[in-house]
Amino acid sequence: MSRSRTSGGRAIARTHITGAGIAATTATILFALLWLVLPATQSQLGYANLRLGVLLLAPPLVAFAHQLTHREVDVLSPWILLPLTTWLTFAAGPTVLLASNQPAEAELLVDTLSIGALSYFLGVFTSLNWARQRRRPTSVPPVSRRAILIPFAVGACAMAWYWARAGGIPAIGPDSETARIAALTGSGIPFYLSMLLMVSVWIMAAGRSDLPRPIQLSLAFVAVVLLASTGWRNVPFALLAVSLLLLFYRRVVSLRTLILGVVMAVVGAVGFGIYRAVSSGITHYETSKLALNGQYGAAIWVYLRDYTATFSRNLVDVVQLAERSVPEWGETFVWNILALMPGSDREPFDLVLKQRLGLGFQGGGLPPTMMGELLLNFGQVGLIIGMFLIGILASRVHGMLSSSSMAARIVAALTLYFMVSAIRGGIGNVLFNVLWLSLATVAILAILSPETSERVKR
């Protein structure tokens, strides 16, 4: 510890993050050994839940406890955010599958998640020396008005183009499900150009503009409303989530405020999803029936309960498909990018996957999930190597959040958000978003606000 004291705050910070990583990794190894020697007389449900808790919940809790002892709470750590989100997404899976008399499917789910989790943590541990403790920038760089207003204007015009392709505003139309999918079929260029609204707001959140605060808040509000009009709840949610991440690393945000923001965002996303289902005529679901009867609290609870069960079933379905299919060899990662090409008749891969599985439920497609898509493309080897690389990437992205470059911080925040989204939605569903929004951010700041880059260099 003497070296840390003589080397300054940065060395101390590195010691703390390394300590948290070692503590979490040690706990993972011990719990994994415990899982291997458990007696076979344990109930299948208890055994399944214990394995998921040990491999996905224990390491984040150990890392969080270690942070609290050093007063360095950072829930965005690679030891916490992605594994905790994975656990929340699939936690109800074993219970639901066993209650449906599907023990083989429950075991398949837990085995897949266990292999993926161990590979992910190994990747995080490998990149320990690259990870840095959270360090807020010493100053918030100035940003030109042009870097905010021009992408905002382009995004707003693209939104009008998107409405024209959809035949109206999907979010308030009689069938938002059909309208939003129709607007992407053939060419999704208007939709993706409208995402420049997000870049505009993120630049405001990460930089210092001379635009009056009321105007900045008005622009952010209009951007949320316009993006919500697309019928895709993930888009306005991404805008708000990434903005919150940028503010979290720009100024002190209490844990209470962060939790409150997350709860409000989740409730808003759930409410939007229920509204979309009801407005599209999908009324046979229990959540829709409860909402139509005015039982909104119960509708939200049932929605959240079924949410984790749905993605657990999705993962099982995709794993079983991968076992009997020829590997895709990475094609699903670029499928949606190829679908954007002018004249392309490709449907989004979610819809194609639903058709391959012979499922005919109403609504959109079937998200392959992150681990399911790795298996679908490269089999078990792909799951192990892929989750290992994702663990390394999560550590690198977390370190970028404390960069002195505003562009790097925005790219890191949006990448981290879409990595979380990919846990349930799949890699191909977010890859183009990450590439497009990262390139747009770097280009806008370099061309429209060069003084920001110059300030960083000095």
Same-domain status, 155 and 13: no
Same-domain status, 307 and 273: yes
> What does the pLDDT average to over 113-126?
92
Same-domain status, 330 and 448: yes
Same-domain status, 121 and 159: no
Residue 383 has pLDDT above 90, yes or no: yes
Q: Which of 151-160, 215-224, 395-404 has the lowest mean pLDDT?
A: 395-404
Same-domain status, 301 and 397: yes
Q: Is residue 134 part of a domain?
A: no
Range of the domain at 174: 146-457
Same-domain status, 111 and 176: no
Residue 214 has pLDDT above 90, yes or no: yes
Q: Is residue 105 part of a domain?
A: yes
> Domain count of the chain?
2
Q: Is residue 135 part of a domain?
A: no
Q: Is residue 133 part of a domain?
A: no
Same-domain status, 245 and 120: no
pLDDT of residue 5: 37
Last residue of a domain, one of 126, 159, 175: 126
Same-domain status, 246 and 341: yes
pLDDT band at 8 (very low <50, low <70, confident <90, very high): very low
pLDDT of residue 201: 96
Last residue of a domain, one of 126, 158, 184: 126
pLDDT band at 394 (very low <50, low <70, confident <90, very high): very high
Q: Is residue 59 part of a domain?
A: yes
**Chain-centre distance for alpha carbon 388:** 18
Share above pLDDT 90 across residues of the chain, in percent, rounded to a whole number: 38
Q: What is the mean pLDDT of the chain?
A: 80
Same-domain status, 198 and 289: yes
Same-domain status, 420 and 356: yes
Q: Which residues make beta-bridge pairs with 208? A: 142
pLDDT of residue 147: 94
115 vs 10, residue with greater confidence: 115
pLDDT band at 253 (very low <50, low <70, confident <90, very high): low
pLDDT of residue 194: 94
Q: The whole model's pTM is what?
A: 0.83
Residue 443 has pLDDT above 70, yes or no: yes
Last residue of a domain, one of 68, 97, 126: 126
Residue 52 has pLDDT above 70, yes or no: yes
With 0-12 / 13-18 / 19 or more C-beta atoms within 10 angstroms meaning exposed / middle / buried, residue 440 is: buried
Q: Is residue 351 part of a domain?
A: yes
Cβ-count burial 317-348 (b if 16+ within 10 Å, e if not) = bbbbbbeeeeebeeebbebbbebbeeeeebbb
| Phi, psi (rounded to 5 degrees) for 325 | -120, 165
Q: Is residue 237 part of a domain?
A: yes
Residue 189 has pLDDT above 50, yes or no: yes
**H, E, C per residue of the chain:** CHHHHHHCHHHHHHHHHHHHHHHHHHHHHHHHHHHHHCCCCCCHHHHHHHHHHHHHHHHHHHHHHHHHHCCCCCCCCCCCHHHHHHHHHHCCHHHHHHHCCCHHHHHHHHHHHHHHHHHHHHHHHHCHHHCCCCCCCCCCCECCCHHHHHHHHHHHHHHHHHHHHHCCCHHHCCCHHHHHHHHHCCCCHHHHHHCHHHHHHHHHHHCECCCCHHHHHHHHHHHHHHHHCCCCCHHHHHHHHHHHHHHHCCCCCCHHHHHHHHHHHHHHHHHHHHHHHHHCCCCCCHHHHHHHCCCHHHHHHHHHHHHHHHHHHHHHHHHHHHHCCCCCCCHHHHHHHHCCCCCCCCCCHHHHHHHHCCCCCCCCCCCCCHHHHHHHHHHHHHHHHHHHHHHHHHHHHHHHCCCCCHHHHHHHHHHHHHHHHHHHHCCHHHHHHHHHHHHHHHHHHHHHCHHHHHHHHC
Same-domain status, 53 and 165: no
Residue 278 has pLDDT above 70, yes or no: no
Dump pLDDT digits (tens) for 11-38.
333 434 455 565 666 666 666 655 555 5
Most confident residue range from 256-270, 281-295, 360-374: 360-374
Q: Is residue 141 part of a domain?
A: no
pLDDT band at 238 (very low <50, low <70, confident <90, very high): very high
Q: Which of 59-63, 84-88, 223-227, 247-251 has the lowest mean pLDDT?
A: 247-251
pLDDT of residue 442: 95
Distance CA 241, CA 11 (A): 30
Same-domain status, 84 and 170: no
Which pair of tokens denotes residue 8?
Answer: 């300054």
